[in-house]
A and B are shown apart, each in its own frame.
Chain A
């Protein structure tokens, strides 16, 4: 597969999911992600897969729950208001230890909001969203290529850790076209799904997929088990991209679409002679705490850019060395435009303490 394609981010995520072996898609239309169900509706029947346009986001996440309980690679996608509706099912899937992919091509809120790119769903994605104190694997692509790559990774990680994964995109990444080099699914060893319901067949033991634990101490034990799994993820699966950290005097951090603009700003600042580095979290949960802790052991200033009024910055503060200063610059979407590289470069200059 040496081809180079020119596709939309939303198409790339669908292609990545299909290449990962996903054969079940359940969803409900919402801008700016409807290209995903449209792509799946066209391609899945050709692959012998199943596409269902559900009656609601609630129904679609529960269809995903059912297919996943039967051991299938399955996904749903939506945008912010629809993701709110899926929180019930996500909490149940987390409680039932079910894998599956949920794509959130975020738009701005709260409420109906608007359809411009936003990062205001960060809290909802990484802090639980639904009830009960669970976590999702949250991946934040910043390019069309990563929409493809991370969709694949999301399936593997969610199978590996038996928990739902969310791909947290935004309307810019979803709608823009870029080059994509498709590739086959990496061969990684996944645990046997010896828990799926399939009808007892010749088994003597029945299998039950559930999230209700009423026995003495059962629920506490279940929650500790999930907690330890989340700790393991933190240890093993944090991913980030580091740029120019070697001689940096200030670290910039941003994810998703904002990371693209921030990177241009960092380059501009570098060209102006400012020693600026950058950490781009790729996994938002597990958050790359170690990367920040290590870097801020040396560089004491971090500037966090987000398209909201400050959400990831809280995790950055928790991860940074104690004596490091963490600054935030961002704004909620709806102003009609994204920040420009020049605007962010100005912030870098200001916080670096020295004008370029």
Chain B
């Protein structure tokens, strides 16, 4: 047998070698890795600026070895707009939870997308407010129990889940929008591809790119990590279908790509 000394699996250079603070079974770590792999893939770590949002992911800078600006709750797309306009040749991404992006920051995300800002948005949808202890989010499923929907989300009272990946496709400034999940190895691979595509969109100067990533919150869902993964398959994906909803490479010329 020949000796193989090329490692097949290494830590991404864009991530620091530190232990994360995330709860057991939380997939922020997985998503961090996918983003870091994309930065490595395109060799843009040195010219990337991350915009940290409010929520469990706020400590972005503890894990990514890149420059980072921290934004107020929901405002990351506006902060990123300022960053990208100041330094147009840098790679700029926001990393936001569902409370951050789909509740308090709805206005900022819609208008950044509509302007076709050359940024990449990583949207981690775990259907709850993780950091503050599992309250209802705009993406909470009908009937889902949370600490502020103790009887289950009642659509008559609370409305229905918002599908951001689809919603943003309505805007001409959006060039790429996809929804992926990180509950199975196959889905993780597909998620990595979507994240890469989103950064490629930005690197090629094609406007606004968006990846919604369905992920778990075992702590606040009150289930084991494995059950949480199962729940993505059985409950979340039926409500939030996976897929690419807009892709400049596939769309007819003039629709979004710029």
Listed in ascending order, the chain A residues whose CB lies under 8 Å from chain B are 24, 26, 50, 52, 54-56, 58-60, 62-72, 74, 88-89, 92, 96, 197-202, 206-212
Binary per-residue interface labels of chain B (46-73) against chain A in the complex, 1 for a CB within 8 Å, 0 otherwise: 1111011000001001001111111110
B160 interface contact, C-beta 8 A = no
6 A–B contact pairs at CB < 8 A? A66-B86, A69-B79, A200-B66, A208-B61, A208-B70, A210-B69
B80, closest chain A residue (CB):
A66
Binary per-residue interface labels of chain B (112-125) against chain A in the complex, 1 for a CB within 8 Å, 0 otherwise: 00010000000000
CB within 8 Å for A24 and B85 given contacts A55-B107, A199-B47, A199-B49: yes
**Smallest beta-carbon distance B64→chain A, Å:** 8
Contact A199 B46 (CB under 8 A): yes
List, in ascending order, chain B residues with CB within 8 A of A96's CB.
69-70
Give the docked Cα–Cα distance between A50 and B81 (Å): 11
Contact A62 B70 (CB under 8 A): no
Give the docked Cα–Cα distance between A237 and B107 (Å): 39
Contact B67 A198 (CB under 8 A): yes
B153 interface contact, C-beta 8 A = no
B75 interface contact, C-beta 8 A = yes
Contact B70 A89 (CB under 8 A): no
Contact B107 A88 (CB under 8 A): no
**Smallest beta-carbon distance B92→chain A, Å:** 9
Contact B82 A200 (CB under 8 A): no
Cβ-defined partner of A65 (8 Å) among B58, B67, B79 = B79
> Which of B75-101 touch A at CB < 8 Å?
75, 78-87, 90-91
Contact B82 A68 (CB under 8 A): yes
Give the docked Cα–Cα distance between A65 and B131 (Å): 24
CB within 8 Å for A199 and B66 given contacts A59-B111, A62-B71, A92-B72: yes
8 smallest CB-CB distances across A and B, nearest first, come from A66-B82, A62-B78, A70-B86, A197-B67, A210-B70, A199-B47, A67-B82, A63-B82
Using A60-B78, A201-B47, A212-B58 as known contacts, list a sample of 12 further A-B pairs with CB atoms less than 8 Å apart, ordered by residue number in A.
A52-B115, A62-B82, A66-B80, A67-B82, A69-B82, A92-B71, A197-B49, A200-B66, A206-B66, A207-B68, A210-B61, A212-B70
List, in ascending order, chain B residues with CB within 8 A of A52's CB.
81, 85, 115
Give the docked Cα–Cα distance between A72 and B90 (Å): 15
Contact A58 B67 (CB under 8 A): no
List, in ascending order, chain A residues with CB within 8 A of B78's CB.
54, 58-60, 62-63, 65-66
**Smallest beta-carbon distance B219→chain A, Å:** 19
List, in ascending order, chain B residues with CB within 8 A of A67's CB.
82-83, 85-86
Contact A206 B65 (CB under 8 A): yes
Give the docked Cα–Cα distance between A327 and B67 (Å): 53
Contact B46 A58 (CB under 8 A): no
Contact B85 A206 (CB under 8 A): no
List, in ascending order, chain B residues with CB within 8 A of A65's CB.
69, 71, 75, 78-79, 82
**Smallest beta-carbon distance A75→chain B, Å:** 12
B108 interface contact, C-beta 8 A = yes
Cβ-defined partner of B86 (8 Å) among A24, A88, A89, A206 = A24
Give the docked Cα–Cα distance between A229 and B49 (Å): 28
Cβ-defined partner of A63 (8 Å) among B85, B87, B91 = B85
Give the docked Cα–Cα distance between A202 and B47 (Å): 10
B45 interface contact, C-beta 8 A = yes
A59, closest chain B residue (CB):
B78
**Smallest beta-carbon distance A297→chain B, Å:** 45
Give the docked Cα–Cα distance between A199 and B70 (Å): 14
Give the docked Cα–Cα distance between A338 and B115 (Å): 43
Contact B79 A62 (CB under 8 A): yes
Contact A66 B68 (CB under 8 A): no
Contact B67 A56 (CB under 8 A): no
B71, closest chain A residue (CB):
A62
**Smallest beta-carbon distance A130→chain B, Å:** 10
List, in ascending order, chain A residues with CB within 8 A of B107's CB.
55-56, 58-59
Contact B72 A88 (CB under 8 A): yes
List, in ascending order, chain A residues with CB within 8 A of B80's CB.
66
**Smallest beta-carbon distance A151→chain B, Å:** 20
Give the docked Cα–Cα distance between A31 and B18 (Å): 51
B16, closest chain A residue (CB):
A206
Interface core residue of B47, B66, B71 (most chain A CB under 10 Å): B71
CB within 8 Å for A199 and B82 given contacts A59-B75, A92-B72: no
CB within 8 Å for A206 and B46 given contacts A55-B108, A62-B72, A70-B82: no
List, in ascending order, chain A residues with CB within 8 A of B84's CB.
66
List, in ascending order, chain B residues with CB within 8 A of A92's CB.
70-72
Give the docked Cα–Cα distance between A207 and B68 (Å): 7
List, in ascending order, chain A residues with CB within 8 A of B71's CB.
62, 65-66, 92
Interface core residue of B49, B64, B67 (most chain A CB under 10 Å): B67
**Smallest beta-carbon distance B119→chain A, Å:** 10
A197, closest chain B residue (CB):
B67
Contact B46 A200 (CB under 8 A): yes
Give the docked Cα–Cα distance between A61 and B61 (Å): 22
